[in-house]
Every structure is written in C-alpha cells, then in structure tokens.
C-alpha cells in the first residue's frame, strides 16, 4: 500500500508561495507609491512667506517674472554697478531668502544679482517639474536687460542653468555642486532602489554641458555626501571646465554659499566676460 505524501511538505510550499506573493505585492505597492509621489522627494520648497527684498538686502527690490505658461513668479533683484548680471538658479530646497548671503557677497563686488524662485517655491504658484523649472529660468532670463549675463546654478539648479545655457547662451556658466544627471545623484541617496527606471524628471547635465557655448566653471566640495565630488568632476570633464575644488566642504556648508573660493570664481568669470566683449 502507498504512503501518502507528507502534508507538512505541501503546507510548507504553500506558505512559502504565499509569503513570496505578499513580499512581491508590498514591493510593487512601494514602487508604485514612489512613482506617484517621487516629486515630493525631489523638490523640497520652502513655501512660506518671503520678506520684502529690501528688508534682507539693502537696495534690493521685489520683481515679478512671467512665464510662457502664464505664471507670475516673485523674485529679488539686487542692483549693482557692473554690466554683468548674475542669474541664480537655486537648488531643490528652500527659497530665495536662503541665497541672500550669495547675493550680498556678489553685490559687494558690484555685480547685479537676480535671485529667482521656481514655481511652488517662496510663495509662488504652481508645482515644480523639470519642464516647469526650465520655463521659470527662461522667464528670469527674459527679465534681465544687462548686456552680459552669467548663470549660476546650484546643485539641481546647475541642471536648470545648463539647459537654459543651451537655449539662451550666457557670457559664462558657473555650476556649483553639479551632478551628472538626477538619477546618478538619486542613486547615492537611495542605493537599493531602481532610481533610473522610476524617475520622470531627468535633469541631464554631463550629457548636455559639452554643447554650451560659453566658459564654464565648476565649483564643488570634496566632503559633499549628497552630490559626491566624482559626479561634479565628471561634469567638469564633459564641459572642459575650469574647476574650483573646496577641500572638505559639504553640500550645504556656508563656504559653498558665500565662501571666498566660490565668490572669487564668479567675480573672475564676470571680469573675463566683460573683457571678452
């Protein structure tokens, strides 16, 4: 007479299969949530009220930028004695008030500065996207009437400034802590996720910057753990750029906001731009 198969073996296989299905379902759900809400992880705006420009930067004034898709965006303009204006495209967090030390340091050298805020930042209407940020930067460029303009792009703003430079060539381009593309930067923060497959906003820099028809300067810190120095060096190599390496500096350190090396690089590029013309 045949023996029946052990019931516990069947039960074990069934339990394993059920567990595998549950794990797979949870992973699919998590990836789905990441896909839907990914922009909340990318863009970290300070949406709170921004004080009047003159209360933070003496002589500055509040201005309004109008985008091609009809948004009216608040910005700060800091006048100066020079003919080279610095247009600042910020990173993914904060608002224009957080870049006030940068504007103050540049204005001390006579450089006019436009501190823009993207849609959804600093009380501005709209929600940030890759295409939206580009339209915002275009509106900022349209506002500037100086004969020469330098684009200063910070982190994610380096990608915005690079794309703007392809559409509207500047007198010079400064990229502070640039990444090669957003997926490479995202992989640093989320090493176990398929970041490249999930991303809707790409922000390529290294693949595009070689086509920029202007002098490029790349500034980065060797202690940066958010955008590692290797990514910024790769951008510099693609751009054949002048590099300014700040030893030990982290991504959000003050030395990369208004430090001597950073401000000196912008001022020098502005001087070169004016002399070249």
Same domain, 107 and 228: yes
Same domain, 31 and 98: no
User: What's this model's pTM, rounded to 2 decimal places?
Assistant: 0.88
The verdict on 74 and 103 lying in the same domain is: yes
Q: Say if residue 101 is exposed, middle or buried (CB neighbours under 10 Å; 0-12, 13-18, 19+).
A: middle
Could you tell me if 110 and 230 lie in one domain? yes
Local structure of residue 121 (DSSP, 8 states): S
**Cα 91 from Cα 46, distance rounded (Å):** 12
Token code pair at residue 110 = 């006579």
Same structural domain for residues 92 and 6?
no
Specify whether the CB–CB gap between 257 and 101 falls below 8 A: yes
Statement to judge: residues 4 and 61 lie in one domain: no
Which residue from 264, 160, 183 is spatially nearest to 219, judged by alpha carbons? Answer: 264
Residues 50 and 37 in one domain: no
Range of the domain at 5: 1-42
Residues 73 and 155 in one domain: yes
What total of structural domains would you count in the chain? 2
Q: What is the DSSP string of 48-84?
A: S----HHHHSTT-EEEEEE-TTS-EEEEEEE--SSSE
> Going residue by residue through the chain (277 aa), what tens digit of pLDDT does each one get?
455 555 555 556 688 677 766 655 655 655 554 555 556 788 999 988 899 999 999 999 999 999 999 999 999 999 999 899 999 999 999 999 999 999 999 999 999 999 999 999 999 999 999 999 999 999 999 999 999 999 999 999 999 999 999 999 999 999 999 999 999 999 998 887 888 888 889 999 999 999 999 999 999 999 999 999 999 999 999 999 999 999 999 999 999 999 999 999 999 999 998 776 5
Q: What is the CATH number of the domain that holds 165?
A: 3.40.50.1820
Q: Is the dihedral of CA 148, 209, 265, 106 positive or negative?
A: positive
> 228: helix, coil or strand?
coil
Q: Does one domain contain both 52 and 29?
A: no
């Amino acid at each position: 007479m045949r023996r029946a198969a052990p019931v516990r073996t069947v039960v074990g296989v069934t339990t394993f299969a059920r567990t595998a299905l549950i794990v797979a379902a949870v992973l699919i759900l998590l990836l789905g949530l990441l896909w839907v809400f990914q922009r909340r992880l990318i863009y970290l705006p300070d949406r709170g009220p921004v004080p009047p420009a003159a209360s933070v930067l003496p002589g500055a004034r509040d201005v309004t930028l109008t985008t091609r898709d009809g948004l009216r965006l608040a910005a700060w303009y800091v006048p100066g004695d020079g003919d080279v204006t610095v247009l600042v495209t910020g990173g993914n967090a904060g608002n224009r008030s957080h870049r006030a030390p940068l504007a103050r340091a540049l204005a001390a050298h006579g450089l006019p500065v436009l501190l823009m805020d993207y849609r959804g930042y600093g009380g501005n209407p709209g929600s940030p996207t890759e295409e939206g940020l580009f339209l915002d930067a275009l509106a900022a460029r349209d506002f500037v009437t100086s004969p020469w303009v330098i684009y200063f792009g910070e982190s994610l703003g380096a990608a915005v400034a690079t794309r703007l430079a392809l559409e509207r060539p500047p007198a010079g381009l400064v990229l502070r802590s640039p990444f090669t593309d957003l997926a490479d930067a995202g992989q640093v923060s989320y090493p176990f996720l398929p970041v490249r497959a999930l991303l809707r906003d790409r922000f390529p820099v290294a693949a595009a910057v070689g086509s920029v028809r202007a002098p490029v300067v790349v500034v980065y810190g060797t202690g940066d753990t958010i955008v590692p120095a290797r990514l910024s060096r790769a951008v510099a190599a693609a751009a054949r750029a002048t590099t300014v390496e700040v030893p030990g500096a982290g991504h959000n350190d003050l030395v990369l906001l208004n430090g001597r090396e950073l401000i000196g690089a912008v001022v020098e590029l502005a001087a070169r731009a004016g002399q070249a013309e």
